[in-house]
């Protein structure tokens, strides 16, 4: 619901909002120009003194007025010549005619009404409301995605469009809310929805005496020019007329003969609020505010473009489910909870495989859970988790609807998420707990899929097939970018002597000269998807290099029976592969100069070595790494020694399981170094862990003990982005 509320107004009103915000940004420059052009109004000059100086230069004066742009003007008549001129607020000297440029007038009308009169003003007011809805819903979605309102300032991860959309929206939100609220108020005021002040003007009786020189009038002498809004002169041939003096405090009527104040109408709270709203919206009289609002407005066209890109990608990414039978006739119901549509791809693969196996399958969103499925023999739930453990968009109503179901059927839950986040598959766990609490029978225990692993999904499919009594092959190939051809430039081999071969492989673009393919853009810690011959399913490896290194580098352990690792270990320089890069922004060092604690084992050293290599700034980096034998598989030994000498690496702690005295493991090194680790964590250190799950679990147990004296736990560090894993 929240996503629909955010998307629909933005898409439908994108062009109108772009016009309003761009013209608003242009108009925001005017307060700065006004400040530079208008003389500063200093305290110390009375309205009487100014009026006397101006009256000496003109035959008849209609009014002296302080404009919204800060300038003081006089409307005068000199015989047959009528005009308005700018005047010096201290001396009353003329500064030239006062004119509003045609460009400014056009821009203002375009901003207020789209050059379409009252209909345009109504559209502009509607646009202000839409902008408020977009901003509020966008910030709520961003907070949910980042893990709550307290996490709103965390780095934003995702595609470039997602990062730009989130970062710009976050920066511009306050200014857009202020512009929207004040714009709505002004629009409502224009159409009479906000009543005007109802203070009745008091009856006054002037003395009717001979007009005194304006400079002698006591009521005008007591008012400073800095407080002036407008001074209206009496008609020269009507001795019963009066001066009208308006300031921020209210409006006074002054006898032109005696200079006495005959009546005073104080400004109401509504008057003051109207003035404040006008200033907050236009920035007139507060040029810094005006510029801030203008810069916020400039973000809107970019937000519109990136928002439409994200909407289109979500729309295009959701696969069409073929042979989707009705819910009433299905023997198998698949319900999907997805925020970014990737889970729908897995559902489509599962749907197709079950259909080929002879099942009647119905696939729908979790929000479409029906009260009863007449023919269903099983219910399969595939769901992601959004942000801080929340339900994704297509599952927000599921738990409420589940409570109304009367007929339980065997069920299983498959959760999709990322172990780098603190609330890995939390919504799937909530769904699983809800089924258990209601006594539903389990077809299979709940399972979690880490980072859309096609291999883990295929294994789950085998388990499901065993329960159903037939083979179920789930070969899920997510839509991927176009592959590039890479050529192996060089390789380093380790670990053969201890029965654990590991190869460091470095690739460059295939071909030579102008025809050579270019490396894609990537950073250490990103993933490269490699397609082994004869298999459409990519295998992903963490990158140990960045594009600026000129090579694409990976560290690959040979796994027994591993199709892709066997293929890669058989490569010789000059051989080629087909590959593509997938960003992995969740596994990167945080920006800044805070300490880094890098922990890995085996081939998991790849991205960690890349982080050290990229440490040009010399921030404190402490590497803990475990292998089998120092003589056989000390990966990156010489490069790390060089980094120590260059201060790219502050300290290196190694553990070899086949070392003397029975060897040691990386968790042993962490426990022995607990005091120093605590001090680094107290200084704000970020911890990055890369390697196998068994190693990661042992590291977790060791570090939990390390951080407990600090009053911390790893869950807290994870939620703050200070403990991240790349585990396989």
Q: Do the beta carbons of residue 88 and residue 98 sit within 8 Å? A: no
CATH number, domain 319-468: 3.40.50.360
Given this chain, do its domains 484-582 and 596-727 carry the same CATH topology?
A: no
Please, are residues 327 and 364 in contact by the beta-carbon 8 Å criterion?
yes
Q: Which of 479, 507, 523 is nearest to 578 (CA)?
A: 507
> Which stretches of the chain score pLDDT less than 70?
1-14, 31, 34-35, 144-145, 147, 157-159, 197-200, 314-319, 340, 387-388, 420-422, 479-481, 513-515, 662
Q: How confident is the model at residue 392, as a pLDDT?
A: 83
CA 421 and chain centroid, separation? 17
Coil vs helix vs strand at 416: strand
Q: What Å distances lie between residue 256 and 97, 233, 241, CA to CA?
A: 28, 9, 8
Whether 85 contacts 58, CB under 8 Å: no
CB 307 within 8 A of CB 12: no
Query: What is the rounded CA–CA span in Å between residue 80 and residue 58?
Result: 12
Long-range contacts of 445-449 (CB under 8 A, 24+ apart): 445/412, 446/412, 446/413, 446/414, 446/415, 447/412, 447/413, 447/414, 447/415, 448/414, 448/415, 448/416, 448/417, 448/424, 449/346, 449/414, 449/415, 449/416, 449/417
Beta-ladder partners of 629: none
- What value does the CA radius of gyration of the chain take, rounded to a whole number of Å? 36
* pLDDT value at residue 247: 93
CATH topology of domain 596-727: Rossmann fold (3.40.50)
Output phi, psi for 2, to 5 deg.
-65, -40
The CA-CA-CA angle for residues 273, 275, 278, to 5°, reads 110
What pLDDT sits at residue 413? 97
Tokens for 390, please give them: 């929340």
- The pLDDT value recorded for residue 127 is 84
Helix (H) or strand (E) holding 139: helix 117-146
pLDDT of residue 665: 92
* 94 beta partners: 87
Mapped onto helix, strand or coil, the DSSP state of residue 226 is: helix
Q: Say what the pLDDT of residue 623 is.
A: 97
Q: Where are the domains of the chain?
A: 2-32+117-194+279-311, 319-468, 484-582, 596-727
Q: What is the pLDDT of residue 480?
A: 64
CA dihedral 610, 616, 618, 619 (to 10 degrees): -60
pLDDT at 340: 65
CATH number of 484-582, picked from 3.50.50.60, 2.40.30.10, 2.60.40.3500, 1.10.10.60: 2.40.30.10
CA 138 distance to own-chain centroid: 8
pLDDT of residue 393: 75
Q: Among the residues of 615-662, which ranges form H helices?
A: 637-646
Instruction: List, for residues 664-723, the tens digit of each pLDDT value.
Output: 999 999 999 999 999 999 999 999 999 988 899 999 999 999 999 999 998 888 878 899
Which pLDDT score, from 0 to 100, does residue 388 have? 60
Q: Give exposure, 461-498, as e/b (b: 16+ Cβ within 10 Å).
A: beebbeebeeebebebeeeeeebbebbbbebeebbeeb
Q: What is the b/e burial string over 192-210, where b = at least 16 CB atoms within 10 angstroms of the residue's CB?
A: eeeeeeeeeeeeeebeeee
């Amino acid at each position: 619901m929240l996503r629909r509320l955010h998307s629909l107004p933005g898409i439908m009103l994108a062009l109108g909002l772009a016009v309003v915000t761009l013209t608003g940004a242009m108009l925001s420059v005017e307060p700065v120009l006004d400040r530079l052009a208008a003389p500063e109004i200093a305290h110390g000059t009375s309205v009487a003194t100014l009026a006397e100086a101006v009256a000496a230069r003109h035959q008849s004066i209609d009014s002296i007025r302080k404009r919204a742009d800060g300038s003081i003007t006089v409307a005068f008549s000199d015989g047959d010549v009528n005009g308005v001129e700018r005047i010096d607020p201290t001396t009353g000297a003329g500064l030239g005619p006062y004119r509003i440029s045609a460009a400014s007038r056009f821009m203002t009308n375009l901003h207020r009404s789209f050059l379409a009169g009252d209909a345009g003003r109504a559209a502009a007011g509607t646009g202000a409301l839409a902008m408020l809805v977009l901003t509020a819903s966008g910030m709520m979605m961003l907070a949910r995605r980042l893990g709550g309102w307290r996490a709103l300032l965390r780095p934003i991860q995702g595609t470039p469009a997602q990062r730009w959309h989130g970062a710009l929206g976050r920066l511009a939100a306050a200014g857009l809310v202020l512009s929207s609220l004040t714009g709505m108020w002004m629009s409502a005021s224009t159409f009479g929805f906000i009543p005007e002040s109802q203070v009745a003007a008091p009856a006054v009786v002037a003395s009717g005496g001979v007009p005194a020189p304006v400079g002698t009038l006591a009521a005008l002498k007591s008012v400073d020019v800095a407080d002036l809004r407008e001074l209206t002169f009496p008609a020269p041939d009507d001795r019963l007329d009066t001066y009208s003096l308006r300031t921020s405090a209210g409006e006074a009527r002054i006898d032109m003969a005696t200079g006495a104040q005959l009546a005073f109408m104080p400004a109401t709270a509504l008057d003051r609020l109207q003035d404040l709203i006008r200033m907050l919206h236009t920035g007139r009289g507060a040029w810094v505010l005006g510029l801030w609002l203008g810069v916020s407005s400039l973000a809107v066209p970019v937000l519109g473009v990136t928002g439409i890109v994200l909407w289109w990608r979500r729309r295009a990414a959701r696969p069409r489910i073929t042979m989707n039978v009705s819910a009433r006739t299905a023997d198998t119901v698949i319900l999907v909870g997805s925020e970014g549509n990737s889970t729908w791809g897995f559902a489509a693969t599962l749907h197709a495989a079950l259909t080929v196996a002879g099942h009647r399958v119905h696939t729908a969103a979790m929000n479409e859970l029906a009260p009863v499925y007449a023919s269903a023999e099983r219910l399969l739930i595939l769901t992601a988790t959004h942000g801080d453990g929340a339900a994704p968009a297509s599952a927000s109503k599921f738990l409420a609807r589940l409570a109304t179901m009367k007929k339980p059927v065997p069920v299983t839950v498959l959760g999709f998420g990322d172990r780098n986040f603190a609330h890995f598959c939390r919504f799937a766990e909530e769904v699983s707990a809800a089924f258990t609490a209601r006594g539903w029978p389990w077809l299979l225990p709940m399972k979690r899929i880490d980072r859309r692993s096609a291999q883990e999904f295929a294994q789950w499919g085998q388990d499901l097939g065993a329960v159903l009594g037939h083979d179920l092959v789930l070969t899920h190939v997510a839509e991927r970018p176009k592959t590039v051809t890479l050529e192996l430039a060089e390789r380093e081999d380790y670990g053969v002597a201890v029965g654990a071969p590991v190869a460091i492989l470095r690739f460059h673009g295939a071909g030579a000269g102008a025809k050579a393919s270019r490396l894609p853009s990537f950073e250490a810690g990103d993933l490269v998807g490699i397609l082994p011959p004869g298999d459409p399913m990519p295998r992903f490896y963490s990158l140990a290099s960045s594009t600026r290194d000129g090579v694409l580098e990976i560290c690959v352990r040979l796994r027994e029976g591993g199709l892709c690792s066997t293929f890669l270990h058989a490569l010789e320089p000059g051989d080629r592969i087909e590959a593509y890069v997938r960003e992995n922004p969740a596994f990167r060092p945080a920006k800044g100069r805070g300490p880094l604690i890098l922990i890995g084992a085996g081939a998991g050293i790849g991205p960690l070595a890349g982080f050290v290599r990229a440490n040009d700034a010399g921030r404190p980096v402490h590497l803990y790494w475990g292998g089998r034998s120092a003589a056989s598989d000390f990966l990156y030994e010489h490069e790390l020694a060089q980094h120590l000498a260059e201060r790219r690496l502050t300290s290196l702690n190694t553990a070899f399981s086949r070392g003397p005295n029975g060897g040691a493991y990386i968790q042993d090194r962490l426990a022995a170094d607990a005091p120093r680790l605590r001090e680094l964590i107290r200084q704000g250190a970020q911890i990055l862990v890369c390697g196998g799950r068994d190693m990661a679990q042992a590291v977790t147990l060791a570090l939990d003990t390390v951080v407990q004296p600090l009053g911390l736990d790893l869950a807290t560090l994870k939620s703050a982005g200070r403990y991240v894993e790349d585990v396989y």
